[in-house]
Structure 1
Amino acid sequence: MNNKIQIHFLGAAGTVTGSKHLISAFGKNILIDCGLFQGLKELRLLNWKPLAFPAKKIDVVLLTHGHLDHTGYLPRLVKEGFSGAIIGTSPTLQIAEIILKDSAKIQEEDAIRANKHHYSIHSPALPLYNLDDVEKTLPFFQGASLNEWTNIDENIRYRFRYNGHILGATFIELQVGKKTLVFSGDIGRINDPLLFPPEKPEKADILFIEATYGNRIHPSRTAQDTLGEVINNCISRKGTIIIPSFSVERTQLLMYLFWQLKKTGRIPRIPIYMDSPMGRNVLEVFHKNTEWHKLSLDECAEMCDEIKRVKSVDETFALAENTEPKIIIAGSGMAAGGRVLTYFTKYLGDRNATILLVGFQAEGTRGRALLEGAKEIKLYGKYFKVNAHVENIEGLSGHADQNELISWLSNIKQSPENIFIVHAEKEGAEALRLKINDIYQWQVDIPRLNDTLEIELN
């Protein structure tokens, strides 16, 4: 086997979530990302199945960034017998710890609620993992610097390179023998208000590229302009704006944009709340890692002064009952769980309210259902009518669009031997495949879940 690389597509193949790509070569098994499946029930059920490759045989996990769909399976991996290093940049590991603890807490609370109200088919309902499982995972975390090659053995080495998207996010270059494998992770925006532009790879013999927005072009109008218009329209109705938001980077970006809109008088000075324990913790990561983003410590402090941070569940319930116009940013971004659901129970039926979607909504999530015009949404075992205005701002996405993905490839000098489109729904993957072939004349494959293939090293 020393003359071959074996690739196992264990996640994010044919879907956006559950990123896991296993590389086997020279007697080593390296897992790139270890994400949770989200969205459709048939995908979520995959989280409960043992990995298609023995966890105890995996030597190391390399993380592109801290999002749940790239790190959320780690506690299960450890439960299945993994005992190697879990390696990422310092901000990635800080964010992963926050996200995993939050995920475990939500799962525990959901299981308790399901058992209490008997709306689960399982008796008893159990969490996928709990806080104790997360605590057993954290000792395997090992930090890595940007742009430094690190050896796994004499034949394999890796390095992390800045990729925008969220704080700490990278793409990974993995040299196996004489071949260079590049894993894009999630590629950020060229003109992100908070983060620097992504770096670009110069060489890729084997390339794994995401295509979350492979069939879309972000609008030319600035997100700040659209955001201001949506807010003012809702306030004119004396309504409340509920924003399901990803707690990592998206919440901080919204805080920044609201701060700027207020500062320039483009929206009235109504109260703005951030109700996400995880979002509060991620703000601390921003404060600790100023070299990773554009804001100074003073700007961070001034921005935070404009936003009221909700600290307790009691405050959440009280705020939900408050009838005054306001803006509430709450987790989670696809409305899959978290405190935003409490606000949904009060405001989905309010004709003056606005539900504002600000990021990608995966298939099978409540956010996707709202985006597609659902007339009712199921919460806590009950159905709630949707009378509120539903708005979507694509320009706030932390994902590169089709043009930015094509640009990200522009520094690669020689045609890659193999290109695999991952982290995409069918339409996005196929659109990017055709575009890459048209622009670069490169052949591209779209793998399916649990596909395995071998590539000669020579």
Structure 2
Amino acid sequence: MSVSITFLGGADTVTGSKYLVRQGDQCLMVDCGLFQGYKQLRLRNWTPLPIAPNTVNAVVLTHAHLDHSGYLPLLVKEGFTGRVYASPGTQDLCKILLPDSGHIQEEDAAFANRHGLSKHTPALPLYSRQDALDCLPQIKTMGLGKIFEPIPGWKVTLSTAGHILGACSVLLEVAGRRILFSGDLGRPDDSLMYPPDPPPVADTVLIESTYGDRQHPPEDLMAELGPALHRLAARGGVAVVPVFAVGRAQAVLHAIAQLKASGQVQRSLPVFLDSPMAVHTTHLFEKHMGEHRLTAKEAHALTHSAVMINSTDESRALSARHGPMVILSASGMATGGRVLHHLEQRAGDHRNMIILTGYQAPGTRGAKLANGDKSIRIHGHDVDVKAEVVQLQSASAHADADQLLNWLRSMPGRPDQVYVVHGDQKASDTLRGRIEHELDMRAMVPEHGSTWPS
């Protein structure tokens, strides 16, 4: 009986990863992510899946970022009762990320209702914090390199993908087929995470393409960040740094600590990490020693590299402080969370700085800032942007185009088919062309909602 893959997300766009593998009346979902970015993409989160959640047998997560795991509470709320398989690091991060996601959605809905900003009465969250807590018991941890069966006869092996704590590639063996899901692949030279494992032999490969049309610059994060913070301190400004709470926040904190230690940035420059989610994630590096490059001493120092802000009162108190100082706050593309309040307060002052730390999906506030927009809309009104906007090119936790090709090139043998996913259209199609011409592999960019044989 044939095996098929339906692309329910992560196709035509860089978010919403959901891949449904079917064989007969059995089906496995690999990743269960939220759409982010343009409104028309975010609206897909509200559109029912073309399959009843209670007919999905199991879910396997590559990692915990919300564009790969953030739909899980809704899947469970709407009837999914099976197991969710993940690495230990991914489980720990989901315990942090998913309830926070539900909480933010509840807060955003409440804000919209208070200020009449929604076309719906009342505005509702996609799911609540309690919905997220309810789904967590269904997550079962599996060690890397160990074969397990999420569905009887369906064999899965997880391998290191780099990128963030717990991130994995997924090899699925079903009905004589070997299907490899790259997940988000990290960089071989990442400052925190180990490089991805070489790919195993596979018949079908789904490879991410976030940076499928770009190469990372030769300079490292410290070389980019140091001069920016030096300028900021000299004029007494405040840097607002939208960060992904998982991975990016810790990489930036580590770089600032190294800059201070080397004297490139004054040791007295105050740094604040205003994100409970990022604070909790930072402490996980000590729990998961051996899964990253940091020594025990460095992992411990990371937890003391900034003033850790947890409560909303502590966050509000930052608004009364003057520069120079650095505020790291989620989210990384400025789509929600506490960073919006900091941007709202600080963006209009030319002494201040907004530091973007990686890829900004089209349609996000981060993308508008990166494009030089002089005004961004926050909480229903327009905010002037007079602060200096700095976009770091070296902070990404994703492999670039050459690194993606090198990973695929190292695969034993040649797959029958490569599907290029999890990228915007230009990035995905550019990588597709390079895979075909440089590696002589069959490659295509699947459309959202399409179904193809494995």
- Normalised-by-shorter TM-score class: over 0.9
Tell me how far apart the structure 2 counterparts of residues 75 and 54 of structure 1 sit (CA, whole Å).
15
> SS state of the match for residue 332, structure 1?
coil
Asked whether 1:190 is paired with 2:188, we answer yes
- Any conservation in 1 of the 2:279–2:309 contact (CA below 8 Å)? no
Looking at structure 1, the residues matched to 95 and 410 of structure 2 have their Cα atoms a distance apart, in angstroms, of 34
Structure 2 partner of 1:245: 243
Work out the CA distance in 2 between the residues paired with 1:72 and 1:222: 31
Specify the SS of the correspondent of 1:430. Answer: helix
Aligned mates of 2:452, 2:431 — CA distance in 1: 22
- Whether the 8 Å CA contact 1:88–1:142 is kept in 2: the answer is yes
Residue in structure 1 matching 2:132, options 134, 157, 160: 134
Q: What amino acid sits opposite 2:434 in the alignment?
A: K
Give the Cα separation in 1 of the matches to 2:284 and 2:140: 17
Correspondence for 1:323: 322
Alignment partner of 1:351 is 2:358: no
* Aligned counterpart in structure 2 of residue 117 of structure 1, from 115, 118, 131: 115
**1:50–1:80: 8 Å Cα contact kept in structure 2?**
no
Aligned residue number for residue 333 of structure 1: 332
Match for residue 407 of structure 2? Answer: 408
1:321–1:346 Cα contact (<8 Å) kept:
no
Q: Structure 1 residues 334, 452: closer, same or farther in 2, change over 3 A?
A: same
Aligned-pair CA distance for 1:26: 4.6
What's the TM-score once normalised by structure 1's chain length? Answer: 0.97
Closer/same/farther in 2, CA of residues 318 and 283 from structure 1, 3 Å limit: same
**Cα RMSD, aligned residues only:** 1.1
> 1:28: which partner in 2?
26
State the partner residue of 1:225: 223
For residue 146 of structure 1, report the CA deviation from its aligned partner: 0.2
Q: Choose from 151, 168, 171 the match for 1:170.
A: 168
Q: Secondary structure in 1 aligned to 2:420?
A: strand
* Residue 261 (structure 1) aligned with residue 259 (structure 2): yes
* CA shift for structure 1 position 39: 0.6
CA displacement at 1:202 relative to structure 2 = 2.8
Describe the superposition over 1:67-98 as per-residue Cα deviations: whole angstroms up to 9, x where unpaired: 00000000110122110000100110111121
Q: Which moved more, 1:330-339 or 1:301-310?
A: 301-310
- CA deviation map 1:142-192 (0-9, x unaligned): 000000111245532001000100000000000112211000000000011
State the partner residue of 1:279.
Answer: 278
Question: For 1:396, what is the secondary structure of its paired residue?
Answer: coil
**1:111, distance to aligned residue in structure 2 (A):** 0.9
Q: Aligned partners of 1:286, 1:304: CA distance in 2, in Å?
A: 9
**Aligned partners of 1:138 and 1:84: how far apart in 2?**
12
Per-residue CA shift, 1:411-440, capped at 9, x if unaligned? Answer: 222221111000010110111011111211
The reply on whether 1:293 has 2:292 as its aligned counterpart is: yes
In 2, Cα distance between the equivalents of 1:243 and 1:454? Answer: 43
Counterpart amino acid of 1:411? S
Residue segments in structure 2 that go unaligned for 5+ positions in a row: none
Paired residue total? 453
CA deviation profile, 1:240-295 (whole Å, cap 9, x unmatched) = 11100000011111111111110111101211111110001112221211121122
Output the amino acid matched with 1:274.
Answer: L
| Corresponding residue to 1:5 among 3, 6, 13 | 3
Q: Deviation of residue 230 (structure 1)?
A: 1.0
Report Cα offsets for 1:374-411 as digits up to 9, x if no partner: 11111111110011111111211000000110111122
Contact 2:242–2:331 (CA under 8 A) maintained in structure 1: yes
Aligned to 2:369: 370
Secondary structure of residue in 1 paired with 2:290: helix
Q: Partner of 2:214 in structure 1? A: 216
Asked if 1:159 corresponds to 2:123, the answer is no
Letter in 1 for 2:379: Y
Kindly indicate whether the alpha-carbon contact (under 8 Å) linking 1:211 and 1:429 is maintained by their aligned counterparts in 2: yes
Cα 1:152–1:245 change in 2 (3 A) is closer
